[in-house]
Amino acid sequence: MSSSKQTHDHDTIKKWVEKHDGVPAVVADTADGKGGGLLRIHFPKNSNSTDLEETDWENFFKVFDDHKLDFLYQEKKADGEESTFHKFVERE
- The pLDDT tens digits of the residues spanning 50-62 come to 788 889 999 999 9
Q: Residue 8 and residue 40: Cα distance in Å, rounded?
A: 15
CA separation for the pair 78, 81 (Å, rounded): 7
Q: What is the CA radius of gyration of the chain?
A: 13
* pLDDT band of 1, cuts 50, 70, 90: low
**CA angle at residue 29 from 28 to 30, to 5 degrees?**
90
Q: What single DSSP character describes residue 31?
A: -
Please count the CA atoms within 13 angstroms of the CA of 39 that sit on its side-chain side: 24
- pTM listed for this prediction: 0.87
Statement: residue 64 has pLDDT above 90: yes
Q: Give the three-class secondary structure for 50.
A: coil
For the beta carbon of residue 32, count every other beta carbon within 10 angstroms: 9
Can you tell me the distance from the alpha carbon of 45 to that of 33, in angstroms, rounded to the nearest whole number?
A: 27
Q: Where exactly are the structural domains of the chain?
A: 4-90
